[in-house]
Amino acid sequence: MNVEREVLIERDGPVGIATLHRPHALNALSLSTMKALEAALTEFEAAPEIRAIIVTGGPRAFAAGADIGEMKDLASGKAARAALGEHLARWDRIGRLKKPTIAAVAGYALGGGCELALACDLIVAAENAVFGQPEIQLGVIPGAGGTQRLTKAVGKALAMDMALTGRRLSAREALERGLVCRVVAPEVLLDEAKRMARRIAELAPLAARAAKLAVAAAVDRGLDAGLKAEREAFYALFDTNDQAEGMRAFAEKRAPAFEGR
């Protein structure tokens, strides 16, 4: 697979657009996809003419999570840490970009896909968007910031519901709960995201940067410690049989049989 093709890059005046493009896997965020995405966003970050960045996916899926195929055979926490350390750090670095970022989400934003949207500054959703952290169904937990950023976005009650039951949120619920800032018809999703990005781009760039940092400071205090705790727990779950069972069952298209060990 041509790595460049997993993420399509477009420049529209002051707006940089990175489009996840692995439709056969519902844009599952493989090691190479995230590498290509981070490279694209880093390029936009360095380009003086780009003032706002959009991350988007396809009509059926923004991204259905980290790539389970790449994780299912990781047989220990040590192996998970070695294989996924650099991968998971990409979500953190995307969250720390200085230019304003907008996630334009249609369809599934699950697991690492939801976490990628959450790492952006703003989320605009199509009416068919579905948000969720289904990792518990695989015998693990969110490992790319979900437990922290989702909780800060929607509060403890709903974050617990989503993390413990795998409950998904519709675009409407996500709007009501403050996870997304706008919901639009799927056919105008990208137009709306571009409109927002162009509006940001025509305003003061240094102030935009400062506003983003200041708002992030309000919600992200303690984030680093939370992310560390989350990541340790995520890796440790790769020492369990339930992780192996959960991910293999997904690959084999059957229901998992969890044993609690």
Residues designated catalytic = 66, 112, 115, 135
In the region spanning residues 14 to 33, those forming contacts with ligand CAA, defined by CB under 6 A, are 25-26, 28
Instruction: Note whether 105 binds ligand CAA by CB under 6 A.
Output: no
Q: Does 6 bind ligand CAA (CB under 6 A)?
A: no
For residues 137 and 241, which CB has a smaller minimum distance to ligand CAA in the complex?
137
If one asks whether residue 122 binds ligand CAA (CB under 6 A), the answer comes out as no
- Is there binding between residue 110 and ligand CAA (CB under 6 A)? yes
Q: Write each residue from 189 to 228 as x if it is in contact with ligand CAA (CB under 6 A), else as -, in one continuous string.
A: ----------------------------------------
Task: Give yes or no for residue 139 binding ligand CAA (CB under 6 A).
Answer: no
The region that residue 14 occupies, defined by phi over 0 for left and psi between -120 and 50 for alpha, beta otherwise, is alpha
Q: Check binding of 112 to ligand CAA (CB under 6 A).
A: yes
**67 interacts with ligand CAA by CB under 6 A:** yes
The least distance separating ligand CAA from the CB of residue 28, rounded to whole angstroms, comes to: 3
Footprint on this chain of ligand CAA (rule: CB under 6 A): 25-26, 28, 64-69, 108, 110-112, 115, 134-135, 138, 142-144, 146
